Amino acid sequence: MSASILAPLAALAKLETPDIDWAGLSPLLALSVGAVAVLLLGLFRARAVREVLVPALSFAVFVASIGLAIWQWDERGSLVGGALALDPLAMIGTIAVGASGAAAALLSIRSLAAREASHGEFHSLLLVTGAGMVLFLSAQNLVSSFLGLELLSIPLYVLAATELRRRRSLESGMKYLIIGSVGSATLLYGYALIFGATGHLDYEAIATAIREDGLSDDALLLGGIAMALVGLAFKASVAPFHQWTPDVYEGAPTSVTAFMATATKVAVLIAIVRLFDVALPGASGTWGPAVAVLAAIAMIVGNVGALGQGSVKRLLAYSSIAQAGYLLVGVVVATQLGAEAMVFYLLAYVVMSFACFAAVVAVEEETGTDDQQAFDGLGRRRPVVAVSLTLGLLGLAGVPATVGFVGKLRLVEAAFDNGYGWLALFLVIGSMISFAYYLRLVARMWLGGGQDAAVAATTADAAGDGEADRDGDADAALVGGGARAERDPDVATDGGDAVVVGGGRGPSTAVLVPGATDVATAIPDEVVPEPSSRPHVPAILVAAASAIAVVGLGVYPDPLMDTVGAVADALPDLF
């Protein structure tokens, strides 16, 4: 009997398994193990455990992954038989994903999404997504790359829909699922063609094959590159493959949006750099112009699209499309300088985005909406939030003394350095347009002095704003907003919109979600997000910390510059 069991085991033992560097793999492992632990912890019935310990553990796991990545900083090599890279690029990506995840965990405290989806599941999904991102951005093999992409995408589809009673949230999850799947499928097809053309899955081997067999004009390979590019552009929300972005960003819970906007971008762009600069540098003459055109389209479409947005989340979505365009400039030039510039700007983008999204969470908590009107007079109501959001937006716009300026400077320099001056021009034109919408939002927060247009408006406004000023009572601000809606036809549309959304939260959504009834019994009264008069302290902290980083790194960027300089080690084949 024992022999019959042991025989297969003995055969297994003879299998040659790859040598695994557990230390190098530790950030990924921490995220995966953490996901399971959080899920189990979320099963406890005690409210305190679910609402405090679960987010705390999730936060701790993300921080731990950052710590482990720093610990492994000096290691160079590859993991699991060459499937994953262990290099500064991977470590920087892991740290950025960890930081985004930690911040998102903080932002989701008290969020409706975490309550409706139950805390354990929500944070577990967040951690799995993080693990998928780390896998994706360290992959140096087509198979592990695709594996990582799926691991990060599928939980994100679910996370986008976690506000189960809100039609917009469900819609966004559905939209993301469908369009994301198309992107994944295209990417997979592209990978298959690349494999078909070169006969290799490993990035280095692909590069060698292209170089030695002179494949840079091979139709099969170029077809594969084109499809892979399209698939990745879907994921990075690069125009013209961006249509899902505004809807999903607006519909998803804000903490999830923040995570999606930052960590996904980090993962996808680092994966793009790896694929194009490690596996395909030999064909850069072909894909360079194509990526450049995509970047230029993204900058223009994103910035122009953001101009007319009423919802701040939509505005940030369009802005993130433009930012993806800026980031691609660093890929296009296919130099070490370009890759460094891209990674620098990527980190800057993470920090700036969190300053913005955290502020949006804080405002949403108090007013129940992310409409631009909700930001009126924020400078008096919540100066810290307003200053953070202002600095975040100015950073995204690229004002000097913010990290965004240094980042853009670096991209422009990299572009000129390799003969892509025209693309730098697009970058600058995009920035010019972007000032119009960033500063309009900033102006809303700080507008003061002067006279008002109509006397009636003045009194009503003063009543609404005044109360809001004194005690920060969100209800007063809402009343003010309502009063304005009656006067101003422009605003009235927005008000009407809100009513429709409010109606959508009713029974009709329950039909859409089969499992909704269970949840409804668990949390009966929390269907509609109630404006809370309590400030969202974690969000304010995240916003303030990010804002300090935006200015600090803008004035003294050298430490971050030096860190990013190590990226060159990961891309030895580039100039």
The binding track of 333-372 with respect to another protein, each residue x by CB under 8 A or -, is: -------x--------------------------------
Q: Interface with another protein includes 561 (CB under 8 A)?
A: yes
Q: Interface with another protein includes 399 (CB under 8 A)?
A: yes
Instruction: Select the span of 244-252, 259-267, 286-294, 412-420 touching another protein (CB under 8 A).
Output: 412-420
Give the span between the Cα atoms of 62 and 574, in whole angstroms.
32
Q: How far is the CB of 330 from another protein (least distance, A)?
A: 13
Nearer to another protein by Cβ, of 235 and 408: the residue is 408
Amino acid occupying residue 564: V
Q: How far is CA 503 from the centre of its chain?
A: 30
Instruction: Select the span of 200-208, 283-291, 413-421, 543-551 touching another protein (CB under 8 A).
Output: 413-421
Give the span between the Cα atoms of 486 and 494, in whole angstroms.
11
Q: Interface with another protein includes 401 (CB under 8 A)?
A: yes
Q: Which of 268, 298, 287 is nearest to 194 (CA)?
A: 287
Nearer to another protein by Cβ, of 457 and 510: the residue is 457
CB atoms within 10 A of CB 322: 28
- 6 token code pair: 């042991």
Q: How far is the CB of 450 from another protein (least distance, A)?
A: 5
Q: Which of 424, 485, 544, 547 binds another protein (CB under 8 A)?
A: 424
Q: Which of 43, 185, 416, 459 binds another protein (CB under 8 A)?
A: 416
Burial of 510 (0-12, 13-18, 19+ CB in 10 A): middle
By CB under 8 A, what part of segment 21-50 binds another protein? none
Give the span between the Cα atoms of 461 and 196, in whole angstroms.
66
Nearer to another protein by Cβ, of 259 and 344: the residue is 344
Alpha helix positions (H), 15-141: 22-41, 47-48, 54-71, 88-107, 112-116, 119-138
Nearer to another protein by Cβ, of 189 and 435: the residue is 435
Q: Are 302 and 239 a contacting pair, CB within 8 Å?
A: yes
Q: Interface with another protein includes 484 (CB under 8 A)?
A: no
Q: Interface with another protein includes 199 (CB under 8 A)?
A: no
What are the φ and ψ backbone dihedral angles of 202, each rounded to 5 degrees?
-80, 135
Amino acid occupying residue 91: M
Nearer to another protein by Cβ, of 448 and 524: the residue is 448
Q: Interface with another protein includes 413 (CB under 8 A)?
A: yes
Q: How far is the CB of 112 from another protein (least distance, A)?
A: 33
CB atoms within 10 A of CB 59: 20
What are the φ and ψ backbone dihedral angles of 77, each rounded to 5 degrees?
150, -155
- 313 token code pair: 């989340």
Q: How far is the CB of 312 from another protein (least distance, A)?
A: 16
Q: Interface with another protein includes 503 (CB under 8 A)?
A: no
Q: Which of 475, 257, 454, 275 is nearest to 357 (CA)?
A: 257
Q: Interface with another protein includes 400 (CB under 8 A)?
A: yes
Q: Is 238 helix (H, G, I), strand (E, B) or coil?
A: coil
Q: Which residues contact 314 (CB under 8 A, 6 or more apart)?
A: 246, 249, 250, 306
Helix (H) or strand (E) holding 184: helix 167-198
Q: Interface with another protein includes 304 (CB under 8 A)?
A: no
With CB under 8 A as the rule, give the number of residues binding another protein: 41
Q: Which of 542, 557, 570, 571 binds another protein (CB under 8 A)?
A: 557
Q: Interface with another protein includes 565 (CB under 8 A)?
A: yes
Q: Which of 57, 412, 540, 549 binds another protein (CB under 8 A)?
A: 412
Q: Interface with another protein includes 251 (CB under 8 A)?
A: no
- 315 token code pair: 């505005």
Q: Interface with another protein includes 407 (CB under 8 A)?
A: no
Give the span between the Cα atoms of 141 and 84, in whole angstroms.
7
The binding track of 437-456 with respect to another protein, each residue x by CB under 8 A or -, is: --xx-xxx-xxxxxxxx---
Binding site for another protein (CB under 8 A): 340, 379, 394, 399-401, 405-406, 409-410, 412-413, 416-417, 421, 424-425, 428, 431-432, 435-436, 439-440, 442-444, 446-453, 557-558, 561-562, 564-565
